Amino acid sequence: MLTLKRSHGCGELSLADAGKDIVLMGWVDTRRDLGGVVFIELRDRSGVIQVVFSPEHNPEVHQLSAKLRSEYVIAVKGKLSPRPDDSINKNLTSGNIEVYASHLEILNSAKTPPFEIADDINVDESLRLKYRYLDLRRPKMQQNLRLRHKVTKFMRDYLDRNDFYEIETPILTKSTPEGARDYLVPSRVQPGNFYALPQSPQIFKQILMLAGYEKYFQIARCFRDEDLRGDRQPEFTQLDVEMSFVNQEDVLNMLEGLVVEMIKEVKGIDIPSPIKRLTYHQAMNLYGSDKPDTRFGLELTDLTELMAECGFNAFADLAKQGGSVKALKLPKMSDMARNELDNLRAKAVKFGAKGLTWFIFNEDGSLKSPVAKFFTEEEVNKIKETAAAENGDVLLVVADKFKVVCDVLGRFRLDFGKKLNLIDETKYDLMWVVDFPVFEWNDQENRWDAMHHPFTSIKAEDIGFLDTDPGRCRANAYDLVLNGNELGSGSIRIHNRDMQERIFRTYNLTEEQIKNKFGFMLDAFEYGCPPHGGIALGLDRLVMILAGEANIREIIPFPKTNTATCLMTEAPGNVDNNQLKELHIKTVEPVKISAD
C-alpha cells in the first residue's frame, strides 16, 4: 500500500524546480555505489532522473538503498538540487538536476531481467517477444507507443472537428470474400455454424451510410489469416472512414488534410498540399509499382514500341502480341561483374519473368550484351537514346506481360535505389495513386478478381466495357502512398442493387452465393442508399513509418511472430476437449506425406 503520493514524473522536472520537495515513483534503471554514496537512475514513462542516497544526509535511507537492484519498483521522497558542474550528464534532459533522498519505499523487488532494459541492445527478437513486458519498458518502445497514441488522438480530434461520428461495428460477423482467409469462430448455440472475424468493417460502414449517419469513422480492429511479413500482422488496426453524398475529390481532400496536418502535428514536418497524384498506369509505367517510392529517380523506360520493329524476334513477337518490354537504367555501373548480372537474371525468373537481358554501354563507347548480335547499330543507338543512357550505364531489360515486367523491374529499382544510396530517408513523399483497374485476371481460376474489393464503383465513362471488355474498366478508387508504402486504400462505392449484382456476376459468383453472402446488403440497397465512399488507413504501418522503424512489431504492444504466434502467452494453444465438445468440433491431425 502506498504511503506517499507521487508529485512529478521523472522526466517532468527541470532546474527551475530546484529546491522543491518532490515524490517520484518508478523503476531502478541502474545503481552505482561510489565510495559509500549510492546513485541510482530512476525511470518512469516520462524519463530518467538521478537519485542520491548519502549516509551523511540520511543514514537509514542510505542503508535501505543497499537492497536496490535493477528493475526494483520504488518510491522516493527528497529535495531536488542542481548537480555539481563536474557531474552534469548532457545525454539526459534531466542531467543537470538530481534528488537527494530523504525517504525510500521498496514497492516491489524484481528478478534479474534476461536482457538489459536499454535501447540498441543486441538480443534475439524472440527473447524480446517472450518477455514483452520488459521489452516495452525500453525508452524506444515507450516513445513508439506514445507516438501511436498521439497519431490516434489527432485522428479522432480531426474527424470530430469535421462532424464525423465514431461508431463501432461487430467483431463477430459473417464470412465474406474480401481477398484473404477469414479467422473463423465456431458458434456453440448454433452447431456447425461459424462467425468470421472482420477483415474490415466494409459492409457495415456502407450500411451505416444507408442508415443516414453520413460521416462515420472507427479505429477498427481487423483480422486476416494470411502469411505475415515485416509490415503485416494477423490482427491489425486501421482508421476506417466513410462519407455520404460525396465524390472522389471530397474524400481525397478530407483525408489529405488529416494526414498532412497530423504529420505536421506529431513530426513537425510540413508537406506541401495539394500532394501529387499519379494514375495507376503512370505509376506502373514509370516506377513498376502501384505504391511507388518517388524519393529517387531510376524511372523505367518503355521500349515496347521500339522493340516491335527490331530484329530480335523474341522481343518483337512479344511486343506485337500485346506484351511489354521495359528497361531500368543503372547509371555508371558498366563495371558490373557477369555473375552479378546472372544473379539478377535468376532473380527475375524467381519473380515470375521468363528472363532478363542487359545492354552495357562501356565508357569507350562499345556495347556488351548477350543479345547484341540481334540488333543493328541503328537499333542499339535508338535504344540508348530512348533510355537516355550514356557511356558507362547499364540497361536491364525485361520482356513479358505488363504486370510481370513492372513487378520485376520495380523490385530491382528499389534494390538499386538502396544500394546506390539514392533514397533520402529524411524525406516524406506523400501521394495519391488513382484510376486503378476495377478487375484483374486470375489465370489459375480463369476468372476476373477485384483489384480492390467487389464494392468499388466503375467510372461512368467505362461502364460500357463491363460486359464486353472488363479489363478496360477503371475504378473510382484511390490509394494513399507514403515513401513507397501503401498507407490506405479507398473508393467511391456502388450504391445501386442492380449494378452491385452485375459486378458480383462478373466475379463468377452464382445467384445462390450472392444471396447467401450479400443478400442482406442487396436488400438494404432497395431502401434508399445514398452515393457514398471512403477509405481505410493502416494505423500500424503509418506509425511504423513515422517512428522510422523497419518492422511493424516495433510499434505494436503485443505483436505476433511471422508464424502468427504470441511468444509471451504461447497463443495459439490447445484447448480442453470439453470445450471442443461444447462447440461440436473434433480436430483432425494433418496428414504427413512420406518423403519416399
For the segment 198-222, what is each residue's pLDDT rounded down to a tens digit? 999 999 999 999 999 999 999 999 9
**Residue 589 pLDDT level (bands cut at 50, 70, 90):** confident
Residue 231 scores a pLDDT above 70: no
Has residue 524 been placed in a domain? Answer: yes
Overall domain count for the chain: 3
Cell numbers describing residue 271? 508537406
The candidate with the shortest Cα–Cα distance to 99, out of 34, 8, 35, is 8
pLDDT band at 14 (very low <50, low <70, confident <90, very high): very high
> C-alpha angle 15/20/25, rounded to 5°?
90
pLDDT tier at 443, thresholds 50, 70, 90:
confident
What is the four-CA torsion angle of 84, 90, 93, 94, rounded to 10 degrees? -20
Give yes or no for a cis peptide into 572 (omega within 30° of 0): yes
Residue 353 lies in a domain: yes
CATH of the domain at 42: 2.40.50.140
Q: What does the pLDDT look like over 71-88, one tens digit per residue?
A: 999 999 999 999 988 888
pLDDT above 80: residue 446: yes
596 pLDDT more than 60 = no
* Same-domain status, 400 and 513: no
Averaged pLDDT for residues 221-231: 81
Structure-derived torsion over alpha carbons of residues 45, 46, 49, 51, reported in degrees to the nearest 10? -60
pLDDT at 80: 95
Residue 411 lies inside a defined structural domain of this protein: yes
300 has pLDDT over 60? yes
Position 593 pLDDT exceeds 70? no
pLDDT at 404 over 90: yes
Look at residue 388 and tell me whether its pLDDT is greater than 90.
yes
**Could you tell me if residue 99 is inside a domain?**
yes
Range of the domain at 80: 15-108
Does a structural domain hold residue 57? yes
Q: How many CA atoms lie within 13 A of 440 on its CB side?
A: 12
Cα distance between residue 255 and residue 275, in whole Å: 11
Helices and strands in the chain, H and E counts: 16, 22
Across 267-403, the runs of DSSP E, i.e. the strands, are: 276-279, 300-302, 324-330, 357-361, 367-368, 394-400
Count CB-CB contacts under 10 A for residue 498: 10
The confidence score (pLDDT) of residue 368 equals: 93
Q: What is the mean pLDDT of residues 100-113?
A: 96
Which CATH number does the domain housing residue 320 bear? 3.30.1360.30
Measure Cα distances from 407 to 127, 351, 353, 431 in Å.
36, 8, 9, 20
pLDDT of residue 267 exceeding 60, the answer is yes
Q: Inter-axis angle of helices 139-161 and 539-546, to 10 degrees?
A: 120
Q: Rounded to two decimals, what is the model's pTM?
A: 0.91
State whether 500 and 418 are in the same domain. no
Considering the domain architecture, whether residues 453 and 561 belong to the same structural domain is answered as yes
CB 530 within 8 A of CB 245: yes
Residue 548 dihedral angles phi and psi, to the nearest 5°? 70, 30
* Strand segments (E) across 331-400: 357-361, 367-368, 394-400
List, for residues 512-543, the tens digit of each pLDDT value. 989 988 999 999 999 999 999 999 999 999 99
Q: Which residues contact 289 (CB under 8 A, 6 or more apart)?
A: 283, 406, 407, 410, 413, 414, 484
Residue 228, pLDDT above cutoff 80: no
Q: Within this chain, do residues 462 and 546 fall inside the same structural domain, yes or no?
A: yes
Q: Is 565 exposed, middle or buried (0-12, 13-18, 19+ CB in 10 A)?
A: middle
Do 439 and 561 have their domain in common? yes
H/E stretch holding 205: helix 202-210
Q: In the prediction, which pLDDT does 89 show?
A: 87
| 423, 451, 485 - which closes a domain | 423
Residues 89-111, mean pLDDT to the nearest whole number: 92
Write the CATH number for 246: 3.30.930.10
Q: Is residue 416 part of a domain?
A: yes
**Amino acid identity for residue 370 in this structure:** P
pLDDT, average across residues 363-370: 92
The pLDDT tens digits for 459-473 are 999 999 998 999 899
Over pLDDT 70: what percentage of the chain? 98
Asked if the structure places residue 581 within a domain, the reply is no
Question: Is residue 580 included in any domain, yes or no?
Answer: no
C-alpha cell at 143: 516513445
Q: How confident is the model at residue 595 (pLDDT cuts 50, 70, 90)?
A: low
- Residues contacting residue 282 through CB under 8 Å, at least 6 positions apart: none
**What pLDDT sits at residue 46?**
94
Return d(Cα 212, Cα 509) in angstroms, integer.
29
User: Is residue 432 a contact partner of residue 252, using CB atoms and an 8 Å limit?
Assistant: yes
Of 377, 393, 423, which residue sits at a domain end?
Answer: 423
Name the grid cell of 440. 484483374
State the Rg of the chain over Cα.
Answer: 30
Cα–Cα distance for residue pair 20/571, rounded to 1 Å: 48
102 and 200 in one domain?
no
Residues 192 and 233 in one domain: yes
The residues with which 485 forms a beta bridge, in sequence order, are: 482
- Per-residue pLDDT tens over the stretch 308-332: 988 888 898 899 999 999 999 999 9
Q: Is 519 exposed, middle or buried (0-12, 13-18, 19+ CB in 10 A)?
A: exposed
3-state secondary structure of 25: strand
Q: Which position has the grid cell 508464424?
A: 563
Overall average pLDDT of the 508-514 stretch:
89
